[in-house]
Amino acid sequence: MRHGKLPLGYRASGNEAEERALDHMTVWRILFWLGAQLPALANGREILSQHNPSSTCHRFVGAVAPHKFRSPQRERTLCQARQLIALITEWERTFPEKFFPRFATRAGFG
């Protein structure tokens, strides 16, 4: 499956289903989307901090190995995606409501 010239979804190596893997662009699109959810990240951190003042989610910088990005913008996006994933993990241990889709989409962040 393609979107213009870019592949979407799975790529098959040969005709065997066992060889399927997500295309690298699909993974990047997901990480880029997560890294762009800054209002959800900020508001999620604020709510977690209010509920649990000892939470350290605001201190997690989400550092990424230098070989994982080619530009400062990609580094920021990957760090922000890691921060959001860490926040979601803590959120779902703390609250009965899932972060996505319940909190973020209802609040207009997703």
Q: How far apart are CA 72 and CA 23, in angstroms?
A: 23
Q: How many CB atoms lie within 10 A of CB 24?
A: 10
Number of helices followed by number of strands (H, E) in the chain: 4, 4
Q: Would residue 89 count as lying in a domain?
A: yes
Q: Would residue 1 count as lying in a domain?
A: no
Report residue 8's pLDDT band, with 50, 70 and 90 as the boundaries.
low
Domain count, the chain: 1
Domain residues for the domain of 50 are 30-106
How many Å is the maximal CA-CA distance in the chain? 53
Whole-prediction pTM: 0.74
3-class secondary structure, 7:
strand
Q: Would residue 86 count as lying in a domain?
A: yes
What does the pLDDT average to over 49-74? 92
Q: Would residue 22 count as lying in a domain?
A: no
Report residue 17's pLDDT band, with 50, 70 and 90 as the boundaries.
very low
Q: Would residue 15 count as lying in a domain?
A: no
